[in-house]
């Protein structure tokens, strides 16, 4: 899986329809894609098969609690599906003037389905529609090359044994050195779940980002979870779906967001 694609999958909630998020922590993370993606490759293995809840914690402003974004995730042989409830997205991540019209239009869930050999799809069950983002045929981007270089330089060192959500885990430190700069992350591998990495903390630019699996069920998911119902239509773009939301918002008398934002 391309590391940059992996990053965008994890931040589906913040970037689900190509609108820039307002949270400072998301913007900061977007500038650190190579190291975050390299560390995530230790956390999300393409060979894993499981269904779990996944929580992403993004740092907030000083004195405030971290921003939590929970998903349901299914993985199998390189395929991945993420399910996000819009009710779980707080105003600290996306402004209410953007979320309110979506909820008013009945958008309760957004799904992203990734397959290594197929376009990435964003699915909107409320609209019975989906959008495809074709797989790039270009050579690896600068960001992807940087991520692969960091992955090649990554060192992994066992620190100790700790418990995470009742699972005994081996805690490792991941480091990548480039001159005097040292980038750091920590990963916890559950010994009772066949060494599954169930928690990852990535520190960059003084900010801490955490990814954690909860309620893990190992084993292959039903293959149908990676498919799309035949009754769903293929939309030409995310903007087409947003246009429908815009019309519904106008009809309800609410002040809609602008598609030009």
Taking residues 26-39, report their average pLDDT. 56
Kindly state whether residue 61 falls inside one of the protein's structural domains. yes
Which neighbouring-strand residues pair with 181? 178
CB-based contact 57:227 (threshold 8 Å): no
Total domains present in the chain: 1
Strand, coil or helix: 179: coil
Tell me which residue range forms the domain holding 114.
3-152+216-251
Give CA 250 to chain center in angstroms.
31
The per-residue pLDDT for 86 is: 80
pLDDT tens per residue across span 169-214 = 999 998 887 777 778 889 999 999 989 999 999 877 777 888 999 9
CB-based contact 10:41 (threshold 8 Å): no
Pick the closest to residue 215 from 74, 17, 91 (CA basis).
74
CA 222 to CA 202: how far, in whole Å? 31
Kindly state whether residue 43 falls inside one of the protein's structural domains. yes
- With a cut of 60, say whether residue 56 has pLDDT above it: yes
Kindly state whether residue 193 falls inside one of the protein's structural domains. no
- Phi and psi based region of residue 212 (left: phi greater than 0; alpha: psi -120 to 50; beta: remaining): beta
CA 216 to CA 71: how far, in whole Å? 12
Kindly state whether residue 190 falls inside one of the protein's structural domains. no
Kindly state whether residue 238 falls inside one of the protein's structural domains. yes
pLDDT tens per residue across span 126-156 = 889 998 887 665 555 665 666 666 666 778 8
Tally Cβ neighbours within 10 Å of residue 162.
Answer: 13
Kindly state whether residue 84 falls inside one of the protein's structural domains. yes
Kindly state whether residue 163 falls inside one of the protein's structural domains. no
CB-based contact 211:199 (threshold 8 Å): yes
DSSP 193: G
- With a cut of 80, say whether residue 39 has pLDDT above it: no
The per-residue pLDDT for 231 is: 95
The per-residue pLDDT for 249 is: 60
Which neighbouring-strand residues pair with 171? 160, 188
CA 237 to CA 111: how far, in whole Å? 15
Kindly state whether residue 58 falls inside one of the protein's structural domains. yes
């Amino acid at each position: 899986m391309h590391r940059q694609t992996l990053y965008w999958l994890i931040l589906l909630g913040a970037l689900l329809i190509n609108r820039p998020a307002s949270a400072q922590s998301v913007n900061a993370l977007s500038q650190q894609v190579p190291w975050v993606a390299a560390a995530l490759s230790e956390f999300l293995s393409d060979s894993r098969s499981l269904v779990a809840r996944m929580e992403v914690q993004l740092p907030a402003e000083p004195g405030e609690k971290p921003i939590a974004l929970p998903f349901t995730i299914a993985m199998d042989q390189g395929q991945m599906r993420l399910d996000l409830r819009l009710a779980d997205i707080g105003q600290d991540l996306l402004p209410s003037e953007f979320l309110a019209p979506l909820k008013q239009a009945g958008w309760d869930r957004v799904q992203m389905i990734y397959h290594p050999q197929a376009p990435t799809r964003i699915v909107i069950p409320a609209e019975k529609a989906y959008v495809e983002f074709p797989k790039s045929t270009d050579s690896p981007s600068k960001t992807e090359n940087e991520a692969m270089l960091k992955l090649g330089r990554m060192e992994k060192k066992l620190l100790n044994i700790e418990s995470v959500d009742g699972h005994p885990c081996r805690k490792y430190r991941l480091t990548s050195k480039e001159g005097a700069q040292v980038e750091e992350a920590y990963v916890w591998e559950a010994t009772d779940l066949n060494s599954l990495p169930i928690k990852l903390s990535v520190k960059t630019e003084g900010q801490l980002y955490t990814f954690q699996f909860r309620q893990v069920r190992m084993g292959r998911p039903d293959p149908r979870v990676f498919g799309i119902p035949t009754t769903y239509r293929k939309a030409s773009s995310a903007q087409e779906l947003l246009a429908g939301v815009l019309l519904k918002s106008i009809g309800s008398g609410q002040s809609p967001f602008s598609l030009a934002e």
